[in-house]
Each structure stands twice: as structure tokens, then as C-alpha cells.
Structure 1
């Protein structure tokens, strides 16, 4: 698995990242990640390079960045299952990931779409907070993946389901 970190996230995790060479890598296993804050809470948005499927890790603390690999994999599983992806496909995908390698970002269009998702996320969270509602980040992740994006022909959750079905059927 490859996670391409923005400079903010790499600095937070104290990583030295270099530009990736992704020519011989299946992009379905590549993700971008960006650190940002909502209020005083540290958050990370993680987005798949191919499908633009994404999720937010909300309210991270220093120790979470030490266990970042486990947290990302755990959230991939929980978000995939919540979006109705076949559990066999989820297990197969997680087994294919291998160790996480960190690199610098390489695609400005993904960064742009991540920034759009962050704006939507901030709006939703502040809207819910104004109304006194509890913030369910799990449900917000569902909503964000049902939002159209310009570079892909379908919603991100549908794109991920199709990509996993295709990869699973090849094996």
C-alpha cells in the first residue's frame, strides 16, 4: 500500500518523503492523505487515487500518528463494510495491501478534490454543531462518498465497489 502524504502530514509524522515512481504499481492500492484542522481537532482525509473514495479520521492525537498505518487499514475496512462492499472483497483487498510505504503527493487534481471534500466536511460539521447535534463522522464519510466529483464518471463509493469487483474477479 502506498500513502502519498502532503507536507503537513509528513511533518506531523516526522517522515522524509520522496516523489513516488508509480509506473508499475496498481493504483487501486495507492491513497493520498492530508492533515488539516477543524476547530482545534486534527483530522486526516485519506483518498484513493483511482476511485476518489475517501474517509476522514477525526480528532487525532499524537499517539494516533504513531499507529497511523493500523488506523488507516482499520478505517478502510470499517468504511468499506459500511458502504456495503462484499466482506470477501474487503478481506481480499486488505490482504493485498502489504506494508504501507509513504511518499510525497504526485497528483494535483487529487489534492484539489481533497480540498473540496474538506470544505464540504467543514460545512457539515459546523452546521451540525450549530444545531446542537452530535457529529457522526462515520455517517459523514457515507455522505462524502455520495458526492459527485468532476474527474470520475460515478460517485466515489460506486467507483470503489466496481474497482474491487473487477480486481477480485481477476484473481
Structure 2
């Protein structure tokens, strides 16, 4: 079975301490690791997650502590919807196989990933002001905007472009 490890920032780690597990020896060979932080909109907890390899970002909105035992399903469903929104085609079953089981791990202090997350926060804060309330925020649109910005660490490619390449390579390798 595949395992996808999501490392948490200290801020998120304090919020979900009981759901943190030991780092698995086997990691996701295709997607690699992810790093997540928390932000709030109208007192609702939202996560911003970045893929370390592709710099692809994913927003999980209104995550409750009681739902963390279903984090694999929540992540995979939202990831699939965001990929579809970004024009990246993959069958849900194939994506579920690719992601495998989500493991929430304590922080690994990855400066590059944390920098990517921190760079997005001013944009998210601006969107919160522009749209007003949680119910008005178009999370998929915001997420697509973040994944459609060229990234210097990717030689000025778009994160959604690099993620598309990774997913296509996985799908072709399976066939």
C-alpha cells in the first residue's frame, strides 16, 4: 500500500496533536511528501497543503478535529476535485491508489515548503477581505489561482503543469 505523508507546521501540529503519527518508512514514490499549515476563515479551520516536489497547493476548508480519522478520504476527494478543476484528468480510483493512506506527521521544518506556504498567505488574506465570509469564498478558484502562478523553484513552470506531468507519468507507467 502507498502512504502519503503530510508534515504539519508547528501551528497545525498543536491543533491536531492526537492525530500525529510516526513517520512511515515507506513514502509515496510518485508524489513524495506534502507540508500543511492551518489558517482560519470565520473561525473555521482550513488547511493549506503544498506538495514538496511540484509545489502544487491544495486547500481543505472547514476541517474539524472529529473528521481527522477520515483524512485520507477528505484529502483524496478534495485533491481529485481540484485536479479536475485545474484540467488534470485522472480516474478517482487511480488517484486513490496513488495517494494511498494519509499519515499526518510532526513538522520536518522544511524551509522551502514552509516558504511556499507563507508566500500564499497574503493572497489568501486578500481573498478573505474581497469575498467577506466563508460561504462566499470560491476555494477551487482560489486554489487554481495559486497553482497557476509560475514558480522559480520549478524553472518558472506552473505547479499544476508539473503535477500534471507527474500524474501522466504514473498513469502511463501503470498501463
User: Normalization by structure 2: what TM-score?
Assistant: 0.81
Moved over 4 A (4+): 16-22
- 1:168 Cα shift? 2.1
Q: Provide closer, same or farther for how the CA distance between residues 102 and 134 of structure 1 changes in structure 2, counting only shifts above 3 A.
A: closer
Note the alpha carbon deviations across 1:66-125, whole angstroms, 9 max, x for none: 43232111111111111111234x532321322222223332111011111122111122
Cα RMSD after superposing both structures: 2.5
**1:71 matched residue in structure 2:** 74
**1:140 matched residue in structure 2:** 142
Q: Provide closer, same or farther for how the CA distance between residues 20 and 7 of structure 1 changes in structure 2, counting only shifts above 3 A.
A: farther
2:123 is the alignment partner of 1:120: yes
- Whether contact under 8 Å (2:46, 2:63) holds in the other structure is yes
Note the alpha carbon deviations across 1:9-50, whole angstroms, 9 max, x for none: 22222244556767x752514211111223522111011111
Note the alpha carbon deviations across 1:113-139, whole angstroms, 9 max, x for none: 111112211112212229xx9321121
Structure 1 residues 1-171: aligned runs within 5 Å:
1-13=4-16, 14-17=18-21, 26=29, 28-88=31-91, 91-106=93-108, 107-129=110-132, 134-153=136-155, 154-171=157-174
User: Normalization by structure 1: what TM-score?
Assistant: 0.83
- Whether contact under 8 Å (2:34, 2:49) holds in the other structure is yes
Q: Provide closer, same or farther for how the CA distance between residues 17 and 112 of structure 1 changes in structure 2, counting only shifts above 3 A.
A: farther
Q: How many residues align structurally?
A: 167
| Inter-partner Cα distance in structure 2 for 1:41 and 1:169 | 39
| Inter-partner Cα distance in structure 1 for 2:126 and 2:162 | 25
